[in-house]
Amino acid sequence: MAYKDFGNDLEGRLGSFHFAQRIIRTLQKRHIHCCFATNMLSNAVHFYNQEDHENLLIVSKDGRLNGKKHSDEDVAELKSTKCFRQRCSRHLRKETRSPNVIQEKLDEWFVRFKCTASDGSLPAGGRLDPISKEALFTSETKIAVTNCKETCRHLQDPLPLNEMHGAMPANSNSPHGLKECL
């Protein structure tokens, strides 16, 4: 789409929040797997910086994060909750995956949570909500996923990671010593 004042060469960028909201708004919010599906959708688009993630795992397992030593199972369970984003996301830089990887992971995400499968397609991995007997996806979900697969090439970070995130060093009184990413 060309804008009169800018010409035909105007290139826009899509924010990751709005990108994910295109799909999330089509989900049944009361479904038992809605929160998990939302976390998995975020993982399809982003990944945590390896150095930051490693440092967070180290302080979680040795007890410096919140005074309690966490096992691998504890950490895995915590990462699947909203609590993880609230407590730990400030210590982790998120990087955007490449467009082809996002497309592949969106396909995997869709198959994982759909409840029905057409002939010749991959088998469905989702389930109906045990209380409402409804599927997680609405009739608009497949269209939203298809549209997001087409537009994910506009989702790339415009700057290198070190320019996208500012980092504040840890407070000298902090037991974990993790920097805070802005």
Question: Is residue 4 domain-resident?
Answer: no
Q: Are 90 and 166 in contact (CB under 8 A)?
A: no
Q: What is the pLDDT of residue 150?
A: 93
Q: Which domain holds residue 82?
A: 16-181
121: which residues sit within 8 A by CB, 6+ positions away? none
Question: Is residue 67 domain-resident?
Answer: yes
Question: Is residue 172 domain-resident?
Answer: yes
Question: Is residue 173 domain-resident?
Answer: yes
Q: What is the pLDDT of residue 2?
A: 47
Q: Is 0.85 topped by the overall pTM? A: no
181: which residues sit within 8 A by CB, 6+ positions away? 52, 90, 91, 92, 93, 165, 166, 167
User: Can you read off the two tokens belonging to residue 145?
Assistant: 């996923």
Question: Is residue 89 domain-resident?
Answer: yes
The answer on pLDDT for 8 being more than 70 is no
Question: Is residue 112 domain-resident?
Answer: yes
Question: Is residue 2 domain-resident?
Answer: no
State the total domains in the chain.
Answer: 1
The answer on pLDDT for 163 being more than 90 is no
Question: Is residue 78 domain-resident?
Answer: yes
User: Can you read off the two tokens belonging to residue 175?
Assistant: 């037991």
Q: Is 27 left (phi over 0), alpha (psi -120 to 50) or beta?
A: beta
Helical (H) or strand (E) element with 145:
helix 141-151
